[in-house]
Amino acid sequence: MDTLRALPSVHQLLEESEAVAMVSAHGRPLVRFAVQRVLDEERASGAVAEPPMRWARVERLIRELRRPRLRPVVNATGVILHTNLGRAPLARAAAEAVARVASSYSTVEFDPLTGRRGRRHDLLGELLRYLTGAEATAVVNNCAAAVLLMLTALARGKEVIVARGELVEIGGGFRMPEVMRLSGARMVEVGTTNRTRAEDYAAAVTPKTVAIMKVHASNFQVVGFTESVELKPLAAIARQHQLWLLHDLGSGALLDTTTYGLAAEPRVQDSLLSGVDLVAASADKLLGGPQAGLLLGRADLVERVMKHPLARAVRVDKLTIAALGATLDLYLTQSFDEVPIWNMLRASADSVRRRAQAWQSRLAELGVAADVAAAESTVGGGSLPGERLPTTVVAITPRQGGATDLLARLRAHEPAVIGRIVEERVLLDPRTVLPGEDDAVIDAVAGSMS
């Protein structure tokens, strides 16, 4: 108890020179909070800290509170659309568009020609209609929201037929059956896990059926003894029974992936040409834009969906609209080399190998031994499941400690460098490291190995 009497008061500490300097940098309320927290810790522990240690603790606490939790990292994992790392990095034009709109007022719901209120989901309509051929379009905050909104507005209290093999779960526990139940639609499963035929859909139609839904396989493949029904036959069944054909496309691809040496990924425009009435797709996957969900298709259905009360709850903000608009403009002008993910996808094995070898040479100059090794990159993000791209990685064996410890040290670097571990070696893949980030990788490795 006598020891605790030696604790100074908050007021006393705030008068000291150390506090005055901190107040100048961080503001008095934050410094007062940190001082109070440190004094509470000393009181709880029963140990009074020496002034230098106390002020160091106050400074650390303030820095920790002010440290941004959302900050840039270097993706050296080789996963191009890494969901945990924010999926697609934005093109420079998109980032600049966000900055312009963020710091000013905007036309997000205002028509300057008429002086009247506008609708935000109309802002990108002309661009999306041109690029996809859709009658009408709308943008919401992600593809999951687009699917939920579509089903809620069109199929609540009605039956929707879906193949059993398409009842997927993707990252974060997003399960298609649960989304359909939440929407109020009654899910009717047809076929088996590996085989579904056209007659399975036709036989499941009842007077309560309102739609057939096709779901993208997302992040898994069923191989071997399999059979599924393509969109055109499904569209024919839907027309015969006066149903809607809905498509959860997911990836949002607008380009032909086969021209990049990749497997075929269904494009938005292909779905619409096949007779789909309404497509839901992502903007932050193979489209390469910000997180958003696209709804594209028949004008009457888009209008009906966007009039549903849920539409307001899942609408996008002005920053997303700005970023998506700038990204779509790059497609409009066919400036695909300015979309980062397409640069990564089309990077040749030779170019990636040369970059890895350059890293190895620079690290050797700093006294860090590293190998280059053949490996594989992946697309990720629920797109092109099973697709692998040949790559060359820098492989580092820690001199002390294990690979897990080295990976932790790389994550602690500023900016953090995120790699992966294979056979107790840390692998860093140049394919997913953006131009201009090479120095950060070298600095992080050199610092972590010292």
DSSP states of 274-335 as a string?
TT-SEEEEESSSTT-SSS-EEEEE-HHHHHHHHTSTHHHHTB--HHHHHHHHHHHHHHHTT-
Q: Per residue in 177-202, pLDDT tens?
A: 788 888 999 999 998 878 889 899 99
Name the region of 381 (left: φ>0; alpha: ψ -120 to 50; beta: rest).
left
Q: Domains of the chain: which residue ranges?
A: 4-66, 73-82+346-449, 92-338
- pLDDT score of 280: 96
Name the region of 46 (left: φ>0; alpha: ψ -120 to 50; beta: rest).
left
Q: How many CA atoms lie within 13 A of 13 on its CB side?
A: 22
CATH of domain 73-82+346-449: 3.90.1150.180
Q: Which of 290, 351, 295 is nearest to 325 (CA)?
A: 290
Give 304's contacts (C-beta < 8 A, 6+ positions apart).
Answer: 153, 154
Count H helices, E strands: the chain? Answer: 18, 17
What CATH class is the domain 92-338? alpha beta
Per-residue pLDDT of the chain (450 residues; tens, 9 = 90+): 456 677 999 999 999 999 999 999 999 999 999 999 999 999 999 889 999 999 999 999 999 999 999 999 999 999 999 999 999 999 999 999 999 999 999 999 999 989 999 888 889 999 999 999 999 999 999 999 999 999 999 999 999 999 988 777 665 566 777 888 889 999 999 988 788 898 999 999 999 999 999 998 765 566 656 688 899 999 999 999 999 999 999 888 999 999 888 888 889 999 999 999 999 999 999 999 999 999 999 999 999 999 999 999 999 999 999 999 999 999 999 999 999 999 999 999 999 999 999 999 999 999 999 999 999 999 987 777 777 899 999 999 998 889 999 999 999 999 999 999 999 999 999 999 999 999 999 999 999 997
Q: Which of 271, 206, 197 is nearest to 241 (CA)?
A: 206
DSSP code per residue over 382-415: TSSTT-EEEEEEEEE--SSS-HHHHHHHHHHSSS
User: Helices 143-155 & 299-306, crossing angle to 10 degrees?
Assistant: 100
Which residue reads 């935000």 in tokens? 120
Cα–Cα distances in Å, from 78 out to 120, 148, 282, 311, 373? 36, 31, 21, 36, 13
Token duo for residue 264: 């075929």
User: What sign does the dihedral 241-247-253-257 (CA atoms) show?
Assistant: negative
User: For the CA atoms of the chain, what is the radius of gyration?
Assistant: 27
- For the whole model, what pTM was predicted? 0.91
Count of C-beta atoms within a 10 Å radius of residue 53: 12
